Amino acid sequence: MTLDGKTVLVTGGTGSFGKKFAEVVLRDHNPQKLIVYSRDEMKQQEMRDAISSPLLRYFIGDVRDQDRLRRAMQGVDVVVHAAALKQVPACEYNPMEAVKTNVMGSQNVIEAAIDSGVAQVIALSTDKAVNPVNIYGATKLCAEKIFVQSNAYSGSDGTRFSCVRYGNVAGSRGSVIPLFASQKETGRITITDDRMTRFWITLEQGVKFVTDCLEEMDRGEIFVPKIPSMRISELAQALAPECAVDIMGIRPGEKLHEVLISKDEARTAVELGDKYVIIPPQPWFQAPDWHQGTALEEDFEYTSDNNTQWLTHDQLRAMASAVA
């Protein structure tokens, strides 16, 4: 396995993904060392109390600080870049801060990885990066673009960069399941629009997808998993059937449906088993192995409302109880 015997660093390591990533890697892989890089010492202490392993190291640092990243990446083989400001309303109100962390922070990760001789870097992205309508999505689109193109800077024998892009993560901080759980006590659930659909993935599935893509990546690919959709109204009904529902209207920066692959991207993407791979059109890309995938049909678009996979009420309830 790619991570066996390797020194791995995860940025945003005390976030929802980072904690699950550490848990899964320590359980299913055999790394030499796993470095948690984050800026909150209290969350690091809480994680230290929750996950006990001699393989874990904790670095206090911000992705905005390139010097600290360079220090943390000394001797590192693999970097998983999960640090981001991701709450849409907060990013809308603080756009410059979102740019500093999500765009400039990504540039810092790239520069530090190249300077430190890291072999592989994979960055986490989101469906909101496709045809973005909010600052969070726009910053993640920029991050994707610079990660893909950074392969031209590192050269054929240097650091390799790729991205994974997936939808909403069940139970992550700020997600709708904890919100509905708290609202249930009041007898009223609020949703923005009863037509709204979203892609859905669990933390465990997201981490497994990232580790699998680390095994398969060459350089420059954007990996997109095939994941189910759900209707927000059906999630509310599954979790709190006895509650009244208030329709609040779509918030600024919010979409009715999300997109994981746009029509334009589909022209250079292939379908391969349980995922799609968006192949970079740049001339430096030389990875013919992806050609075994199936080219996508004309005008293909992977959206949360045209999906062929949908979560049932039972699946929605099971997923909610699993993350409660």
Consecutive H or E run containing 41: helix 41-50
Candidates 171, 194, 134; CA nearest to 180 is 171
Is 128 among the catalytic positions? yes
d(C-alpha 204, C-alpha 210), whole Å: 10
SS3 call for 122: strand
- Cβ–Cβ < 8 Å for 227, 167: yes
Q: In the structure, how many helices (H) and strands (E) does the chain have?
A: 12, 17
Active-site residue identified among 20, 86, 128, 275: 128
d(C-alpha 89, C-alpha 251), whole Å: 9
Instruction: For 155-202, give the DSSP string.
Output: -TTS-EEEEEEE-EEET-TT-HHHHHHHHHTTTEEEES-TT-EEEEEE
Q: Which of the residues are catalytic?
A: 128
